[in-house]
Amino acid sequence: MKIQFLGATETVTGSKYLLTHEGMNILVDCGLFQGRKELRQRNWQKLPIDGKDIHAVILTHAHIDHSGYLPLLVKQGFKGKVYCTEATAELCKILLPDSGHLQEEYAEHVNRNQITSHKPAEPLYTELDAIKSLKNLVPCDFGKKYVLSNNNLSFQFNRAGHILGAAMTLVMFGHKSILFTGDIGRKDDPIMLPPVAVTAADYLVIESTYGDRLHRGPKAKNSIAKIINNTIERKGSVLIPAFAVGRSQMILYYIHELKRDGAIPDVPVYLDSPMAINATEIFHRFVKEHRLTPVQAEAVCSTASYVNSVEESKRLDYDETPKIIISASGMAAGGRVLHHLRVLAPDKANSVMFVGFQADGTLGDALVREKVRKIRLFRDFIPVRAEVHYLNNLSAHADYLELMEWLRNFDKAPSKTFVVHGEAAAAKTFQACIQEKFGWKTSVPSYLQEEELS
């Protein structure tokens, strides 16, 4: 068995791991690179293997940095099955066509504004390519063993607790195994079920998004209440950029509770993302996958008015009633949230509240970490006078202590642990932490690195 790291090495996006065993090529995760330009350019580079030579893909979850390369792989001749959990398949049906649509919009934008050396610039893939790739999806159950080749190669999904359908993937080859954690959720997440405790694997590929950070500070709910109350008192509005899948539902949950308890005023709440609306409906359907009862899920979902059309979305900004708008994308890297930012950011009465991880090179990262107060949106420079907040304790990822606690479930050390899916500093800090606390053999693989597994 050989593994090659085709993404999520010293960065959080582009998750792709190629396993080669007895003539079979299996790709675990098939994600897009996002964020910095030099990372995004990797989406255009040829993979070291032809699409047609890959026999199967296994997806840990639906987020685009784990699934968004799939339409391109199919375009490159991949014809195999794409194994994932049922909820992941449902979420991919929303996320992938939208990703294709965004690629087309982006190509059109650079062509229209002549900011490209390619004449004309082509999209990475189209909405239609994405729709075509969906027929390869094969929904699987948690906890069941699926054979990939004559019993010598098989896999099993276990709950990861990160978003709906998120699964750790244990690949078994001969008498050995390798576990891919995918993104790991949090034990005490108010909505998602906790990640399953794993006690053994010969090799481990673990995420490290928060490998050097703790989700500390006041309780998320209190922070949200404070920001909303202060903003509404100033007659401003609160804009919450949030991932359509996962964070949007979590924010709705907190706002629902705060309103119910009278801890915030009863201002209008808008969920302005067709994807988030669809994801919220899927949330309703997969009751066994989260902690909420159908009645609770219904109450949470009806906290917001759903905004479908672009016109409705634009109208929101010009109505001066104080309100809360939840809109994608979560890192303000695209989507409707940019239009809201353009109108709301210049007014100091408003607040922008980021609630998830902000990857290097994204607008969210510039606002939160670099604290830039002038941003470029649609060719205009926009002053940022609104308050910018970042709530670090609302993440859908375990922090490093939670990761360490999860690792303690192992009965014995894996032969080798690969630390991936973290910016370089986070991955290296987490690697050092595992080595120091457990004495395990670890490495932070580099892009395209290959490694023989015995």
Residues that bind Zn ion (CB under 5 A): 63, 183
Burial class (CB in 10 A: 0-12, 13-18, 19+), 269: buried
Nearest to 95 by CA among 330, 365, 260: 330
Burial class (CB in 10 A: 0-12, 13-18, 19+), 147: exposed
| Minimal distance, residue 442 CB to Zn ion, in Å | 22
What is the DSSP code (8-state) at residue 143?
T
| Minimal distance, residue 395 CB to Zn ion, in Å | 10
| Minimal distance, residue 15 CB to Zn ion, in Å | 9
Q: Which is nearer to Zn ion, 29 or 183 (CB)?
A: 183
Taking CB atoms, the residue at the shortest distance from Zn ion is 63
Six token digits for residue 438: 């457990």
| Minimal distance, residue 207 CB to Zn ion, in Å | 9
Q: Which is nearer to Zn ion, 7 or 80 (CB)?
A: 7
| Minimal distance, residue 420 CB to Zn ion, in Å | 13
- Alpha-carbon distance of 175 to 257, in angstroms, equals 49
| Minimal distance, residue 23 CB to Zn ion, in Å | 31
Q: Which is nearer to Zn ion, 65 or 202 (CB)?
A: 65
Q: Which is nearer to Zn ion, 171 or 244 (CB)?
A: 244
How far CA 416 is from CA of 83, 178, 199, 313, in Å, comes to 25, 10, 15, 50
Beta bridge partners of 363: none
Q: Which is nearer to Zn ion, 278 or 395 (CB)?
A: 395
Q: Which is nearer to Zn ion, 63 or 247 (CB)?
A: 63
Backbone angles phi, psi at 439, to 5 degrees: 70, 20
Six token digits for residue 237: 């509005």
Strands 2-5 and 450-452: antiparallel
Give residue 117's identity as a one-letter amino acid code.
S
Residue 146 near residue 154, CB atoms below 8 Å: yes
Nearest to 359 by CA among 329, 384, 389: 329
Q: Which is nearer to Zn ion, 104 or 365 (CB)?
A: 365
| Minimal distance, residue 14 CB to Zn ion, in Å | 12
